Each structure stands twice: as structure tokens, then as C-alpha cells.
Amino acid sequence: MSGRPAKKQYWNEPELGLWERLYIFEIVRGLSITGGVFFRNMWKWVTGRKGALTAYYPEEVRADYSPNNRGRHVLTQRPDGKVQCVACNMCATACPAYCIEIEAAIDPTDGAHPKSPARFEIDYSRCIFCGFCVEACPEDAIRMVKDTPDLPGFDRDVMWGRKDLLMLWHPLADPRKRYPPAPEPTTEVREP
């Protein structure tokens, strides 16, 4: 018996030919693959196109989002630009994550809609994007659109969707759901 044990045979022994075992040509092949991808993508970047499959996260809406994607809350507006919300607190009641906070304000000069939110805040660090607020709203004042909230931040204070941020969106031409027609201008104005 020789002192050296027989080499163990494995079922998945590598089957390398001489070409693979010389290694250098396989390196060249690998480099040509990665280099090919690099130069193809680089050519796209240089000619002003996008040479990547990933998306810039908050800036860019991903192309594969569903049209019904419930990403970010928006507060709809009346044609005169005022917020449609009447601060009834139904959305805050329906919210399972308790993340909506509304402070009402009253404007007695507005006959049709005297109540409006002074503060309308959504805590995006707690929101679960369930969409119950949209369903609860009797005035169609809150909707969710195909967008991402501006979440990245260094602490929780910047994760609040405030009223002015929620109203940055001006969806006067939403193809899926028409906006209510502009109300007739009220003629009788009660003096305060």
C-alpha cells in the first residue's frame, strides 16, 4: 500500500478542457463580457440616455408601477385652488395606523364649505399605505397617486407629509376620475 490515499472522486468533478485550464483566455472572455456591458451602458449615458436598469429612487417613478399604485397621498383642490377637504376627520378615524392628524379651521365667509383643515399631516413613518382614508373620504378630498413620498431623511421629523406638500400636486386633469364641477359662485355672502 502506498502512503498516499487514492484521490476521492466526486460526482460533480469539474470538466475543464485545456482551454479553460489555461485560464488566461477565459479571463479575456470574462473581461470582454463585462467590458461589453460597460461600454454599451457607457455609450447610452454619453449619448444622453439612461444606461441602467435601476431607478433614481425618490426622484424617479418606477416604470413598472401599476396605474392603480397607491403610493402618495394628495389632497384634491377645488378649481379655485382651495383644498377640497372639509376636516371631517373620517380619514383619521378610519386610519388603522393612526397616522393622520387634522386641525380644523373655520371660514364663515365661505357659505358652501365653511370648514377646512388648518393643518393636515400624515406621518409617513407610520403610514401603511392601505388606502382606507381614500375610501372613507365623503368629499373625494384625499386620493393616492402613482408616486413615492419623499421619505429618505435623517430623522422622523422630515417624514411628515404636511398640507402644503400634499397639495403640491395639481391633478386638474385626472383621467381616471373626473373632478367635481366648479360650484356655482354663491351670491349671498353673510357679513360676519
Closest distance to another protein from the beta carbon of 105 (Å): 32
Of 45 and 98, nearer to another protein (C-beta) is: 45
Of 31 and 189, nearer to another protein (C-beta) is: 31
Judge contact between 155 and 69, C-beta under 8 A.
Answer: no
Cell of 5: 490515499
Of 49 and 178, nearer to another protein (C-beta) is: 49
142: exposed, middle or buried (Cβ count in 10 Å: 0-12, 13-18, 19+): buried
Out of 16, 20, 25, 27, point to the residue binding another protein (CB under 8 A): 27
Judge contact between 120 and 104, C-beta under 8 A.
Answer: no
Closest distance to another protein from the beta carbon of 190 (Å): 45
If you count DSSP H runs as helices and E runs as strands, how many of each does the chain have, helices first? 5, 5
Of 136 and 151, nearer to another protein (C-beta) is: 151
Cα–Cα dist 143/115, whole Å: 19
Of 35 and 111, nearer to another protein (C-beta) is: 35
Count CB atoms within 10 A of the CB of residue 88: 17
Burial 7-19 (b: 16+ CB within 10 A, else e): eeeeeeeeeeeee
Closest distance to another protein from the beta carbon of 69 (Å): 22
Number of residues counted as binding another protein (CB under 8 A): 17
Closest distance to another protein from the beta carbon of 184 (Å): 44
Judge contact between 142 and 74, C-beta under 8 A.
Answer: yes
Q: Which string of x and - marks every residue 44-73 that binds another protein (by CB under 8 A)?
A: -x-----xxxx-x-----------------
Backbone angles phi, psi at 91, to 5 degrees: -65, -40
Burial 173-185 (b: 16+ CB within 10 A, else e): eeeeeeeeeeeee
Of 52 and 173, nearer to another protein (C-beta) is: 52
Q: Which stretch binds another protein (CB under 8 A): 37-45, 78-86, 101-109, 161-169?
A: 37-45
Out of 19, 20, 25, 37, point to the residue binding another protein (CB under 8 A): 37
**Which chain residues interact with another protein by CB under 8 A?**
24, 27, 30-31, 33-35, 37-38, 41-42, 45, 51-54, 56
